Amino acid sequence: MAEAGALLADVFHALGQLKLEGQSTLEINDFVERMIIDDLQARPASKGQYDFPYVLNASIDDVVCHGMPSENDVLRSGQIVNFDITLEKNGYIADSSTTYLVGEVAYPARRLVSATYNAMWKGIAAVRPGARLGDIGHAIAHYARAQGYSVVKEYCGHGIGREMHEDPQILHYGHPHTGLELKEGMVFTIEPMLNQGKAAVRSYPDQWPVYTRDGKLSAQFEHTVAVTRTGVRVLTLRPGETPPCKME
Ligand code: MG
């Protein structure tokens, strides 16, 4: 799983080097597909899963998650866009996402993106043997609300391994000292979605994208993490990435 995570981190590192402005989300999908298959000799795990035809989700501005790559969505300066990608190597899957700033982005959107990143890390910092799932959710939601943002409740993190989605569900809200106890060897994702306005989302029958109900911005970050003997290991840690908060 660490190998799959490291390869996926390389994909995000490469995405971070790209000039996103002026590219369609379909072009970016194709770039990522070629890198995963040709350069990394791995499999894009989302392609074909649930009949999904792409290797990533591209969720722009008020799209909360599950945005579809499209040649019509050419990224413009001022937008925020989340790319959510899964990769399988030697039978094991890693799952991660980053919200990128396109060109010059206004302060309110930058602040949301930064707070969402920090909220994910607050959750990661709560992971250790003996902690409970409610500790993770509480750490995320408590921080998000203190920053003036709401947490989407309809979508959550998940166990991951040979399958993309395994038990348990990892809620991004909760009460301390409640829920399943974490044990060494568990691997799951932490992937909070924070909204600028209200938490409510809207989706449409037979369509993938999920939108904020009030049309305000939403951001998301995701890492795949493993519970170690003494704490947590972030399997999809990017080259050069360091936690923005104190890890217990
Ligand atoms: Mg996930």
Q: Is the pTM of this model over 0.85?
A: yes
Nearest-CA neighbor of 68 among 191, 208, 203?
208
Q: Is 202 helix (H, G, I), strand (E, B) or coil?
A: strand
pLDDT in tens, 61-114: 999 999 999 999 999 999 999 999 999 999 999 999 999 999 999 999 999 999
How many angstroms does the Cα of residue 225 sit away from the middle of ligand 1?
11
Mean pLDDT of 15-34: 97
How many angstroms does the Cα of residue 189 sit away from the middle of ligand 1?
6
204: which 2 tokens? 């449409």
How many angstroms does the Cα of residue 214 sit away from the middle of ligand 1?
24
Q: Mapped to the 3 state alphabet, what secondary structure does 57-110 carry?
A: EEEECCEEECCCCCCCCECCCCCEEEEEEEEEECCEEEEEEEEEECCCCCHHHH
pLDDT of residue 247: 81
- Over its C-alpha atoms, the chain yields an Rg (Å, rounded) of 17
How many angstroms does the Cα of residue 153 sit away from the middle of ligand 1?
14
Q: Evaluate whether 244 touches 121 at the Cβ level (below 8 Å).
A: yes
Residue written as tokens 């094991």?
A: 92
How many angstroms does the Cα of residue 246 sit away from the middle of ligand 1?
24
Cis peptide before 168 (omega within 30 of 0): yes
Q: pLDDT band at 133, cuts 50/70/90?
A: very high
How many angstroms does the Cα of residue 237 sit away from the middle of ligand 1?
15
How many angstroms does the Cα of residue 221 sit away from the middle of ligand 1?
10
pLDDT in tens, 207-238: 999 999 999 999 999 999 999 999 999 999 99
- DSSP assignment of 24-52: BHHHHHHHHHHIIIIIS--EETTTTGGG-
